[in-house]
Amino acid sequence: MGTGGAGGAGGGTAGSGGLSSSSTAAMGGAGGTGGAGGGVQNCGADSQCDDGIACTIDRCLNAGPSLGTCAHEIQTENACGSNEVCDPSKGGCVDAPPCTIDSDCKGVFGSGPCIALVYCGPSQTCRFELPDVDNDDHMPMECGGDDCDDMQSAAYPGAAEICDGLDNNCNGLADGEDPQTDYSRPDGCGTCGLDCYEVLLHVDAPTVSCNPGDMPGKAPGTCTGQCTCLAPDDCWWDIDQTDGIGCEYKCQLTDPVDVCNDGLDNECDGKIDNGPGCP
């Protein structure tokens, strides 16, 4: 749950029930199509999104190579008096609706996707919390927050951009399109087309690592990992010592040197009956 929005940009009317208080719980209103105070739809900096309301945080989201969009997030701490809420549609801080029990608040804020929980707060005034479906502490953009994908906990402003098909850092670019993509991860080693977990044969997954190389984003890196030995009859060896393909040779180690004339590769070096003294 988190902070709600006082409507989007563009100078329209804020969403219904856009409320906030000085409580530490996150309150807010269902974001509308326009922010109070005549904000702009397209922006290049936060300063261009001022809605003139002191209890909202005005931000320009996704500003980068192209223009961003204004969002007006309702403050939740010390924004208004102890028995007040922030209602941008009414110009700022107003008296909070009184209540005794949670049911007193039913219908007070209307309904919509930005109203996740309505309840009677400790000060006996109605409150509601905004959705945070993926529990990443970022509210969805449509509710005035900054989360571009509230169904994915790996997507929010400030997240590392990785090769997973998502716009992780919410800058409008995904995976290899984003110059901030991290190519040092095994699941996108050097380029998003190289997944070390898929190309390395019979290796212990926690030991898999990636060297992104000298041209990350342009050329694949190198994958490495330690061979697995899950059971006496399921041990694998990298006898060709070639990086990037894993462990290709299945063998059970039975002796540190080869035993002559037993027809076995006792030392798992890919050779049979080649120990000292063997013909």
Structure tokens that stand for 222 in this block: 């190198």
How buried is residue 12: exposed, middle or buried, by Cβ count under 10 Å (0-12/13-18/19+)? middle
Span 247-266, average pLDDT: 88
- 104 pLDDT above the threshold of 90: yes
- 37 pLDDT above the threshold of 50: no
φ, ψ for residue 205, nearest 5 deg: -50, -45
Integer Cα distance of 7 and 72 in angstroms: 6
How buried is residue 148: exposed, middle or buried, by Cβ count under 10 Å (0-12/13-18/19+)? buried
- 76 pLDDT above the threshold of 70: no
Integer Cα distance of 137 and 149 in angstroms: 12
Query: Nearest 5 degrees, angle CA 32-CA 134-CA 112?
Result: 30
Q: What pLDDT, on the 0 to 100 scale, is given for residue 22? A: 28
- 18 pLDDT above the threshold of 90: no
Query: Nearest 5 degrees, angle CA 18-CA 20-CA 25?
Result: 130
Name the more confident of 200 and 31. Answer: 200
Distance of CA 137 to the CA centre of its chain: 10
pLDDT tier at 15, thresholds 50, 70, 90: very low
Q: What is the mean pLDDT of the chain?
A: 80
Evaluated on CA atoms 13, 14, 17, 20, the torsion sign reads negative
Q: What pLDDT, on the 0 to 100 scale, is given for residue 208? A: 97
- 6 pLDDT above the threshold of 70: no
- 20 pLDDT above the threshold of 60: no
pLDDT tier at 4, thresholds 50, 70, 90: very low
Report the residue count for the chain.
279
Question: Of 7, 32, 15, 17, whose CA–CA distance to 117 is shortest?
Answer: 17
Whether 153 contacts 136, CB under 8 Å: yes
Q: What pLDDT, on the 0 to 100 scale, is given for residue 77? A: 57
Kindly report, residue by residue over 185-220, the tens digit of the pLDDT: 999 999 999 999 999 999 999 999 999 999 999 999
Question: Of 20, 45, 63, 50, whose CA–CA distance to 157 is shortest?
Answer: 63
Kindly report, residue by residue over 153-188, the tens digit of the pLDDT: 999 999 999 999 999 999 999 998 999 999 999 999
Q: What pLDDT, on the 0 to 100 scale, is given for residue 201? A: 94
